[in-house]
């Protein structure tokens, strides 16, 4: 029986050091948000907090997974490693959008 149809094992150096440095902040923030979402679900469900499930899902999916996707996308899909200024701007924009969606529904919470 021929084994020619099997795929080659993946290259262990899938990410270069430069790519890892480029996505590190996104991965760390995404992992923290996913862990925080899990903790939020574990705390709010037994306490009967009505919005707990929404907050947990938001942290995991919108903040955590989105940050991982942004970091991986910039590291793997860009033609090269994106500039530090671009990565900082992208991270700031994402954090600003997340903050705005938390602050917007709260009455009287706008800083201006």
Three-state SS for 1-58 is CCCCCCCCCCCCCCCCHHHHHHHHHHHHHHHHHHHHHHHHHHHHHHHCCCCHHHHHHH
Q: What is the pTM of this model?
A: 0.71
Sign of CA dihedral 35, 38, 42, 43: positive
pLDDT value at residue 103: 67
* Full pLDDT tens readout for the chain, 112 residues: 555 555 555 455 677 888 888 888 899 999 999 999 999 889 888 888 777 888 888 889 989 999 999 888 888 887 777 888 888 898 888 888 887 777 666 555 555 5
Encoding tokens for residue 91? 């991270």
In this structure, is the dihedral angle defined by the CA atoms of residues 17, 19, 82 and 80, taken in order, positive or negative? positive
């Amino acid at each position: 029986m021929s084994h020619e149809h099997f795929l080659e094992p993946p290259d262990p150096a899938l990410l270069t050091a430069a790519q890892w440095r480029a996505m590190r902040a996104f991965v760390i923030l995404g992992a923290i948000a996913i862990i925080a979402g899990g903790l939020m679900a574990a705390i709010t469900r037994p306490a009967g907090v009505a919005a707990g499930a929404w907050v947990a899902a938001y942290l995991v999916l919108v903040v955590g997974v989105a940050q991982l996707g942004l970091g991986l996308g910039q590291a793997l899909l860009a033609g090269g490693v994106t500039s530090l200024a671009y990565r900082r701007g992208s991270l700031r924009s994402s954090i600003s959008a997340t903050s705005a969606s938390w602050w917007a529904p709260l009455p009287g919470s706008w800083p201006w």
